[in-house]
Amino acid sequence: MKGCGGFTLIELLIVAVILSFVAMVVAPSFSSHQDEQKLALAAQEVADALRHARSEAMRSGEEHHLRFNTSTENFKVLEKSNGKVLYHPAGKQPFDVRFDLNRLLEGVDIVSVAGATGNVDLRFDSSGVPVTVTGEPETVSPTIVLSYAGQVKTLVVGEGTGRVLVQ
């Protein structure tokens, strides 16, 4: 029965070893890329919330703010006048984001907001400028620091403009 045209056991083992080696090389870089994407997605979510609060403050002529809680890894976009949670412009759901309840953002930490931890408010006045709790313009650009799997992203809110930059 010469010439059956099949593969020998040795040939199949060699292919399996080569495929295993390729998988070992590719898997860590894929995992690292996923970590970067998760952190980038979380930073984009925070940046969108900051921009929304700023634009709503300018549109309504009233102060709006984000309330961050670094312990529970969540934030809300609120109206100052009544403390009501605003709705997300795209999803039409309350703009109340919890990283621990969203599988795409799970594990991302809100490290600090404007150098503080715990419950921290970041406010925008009617002209879209970040202000302190007393209503005075911020003299230093507020920052929000996020981390995941040893990587860090920082969001900077321009003190005179309110523009958001993700670094």
**Hey, where are the domains in the chain?**
31-166
Cα–Cα distances in angstroms (integers) from residue 69 to residues 56, 73, 118, 150, in the given order: 21, 6, 5, 20
Confidence of residue 3 (pLDDT cuts 50, 70, 90): low
Give φ, ψ of 11 to 5 degrees. -65, -40
What tens digit of pLDDT does each residue of 140-160 get? 889 999 999 999 999 999 988
Question: Which superfamily is assigned to 31-166 in CATH?
Answer: minor pseudopilin epsh domain (3.55.40.10)
State the chain's mean pLDDT as an integer. Answer: 88
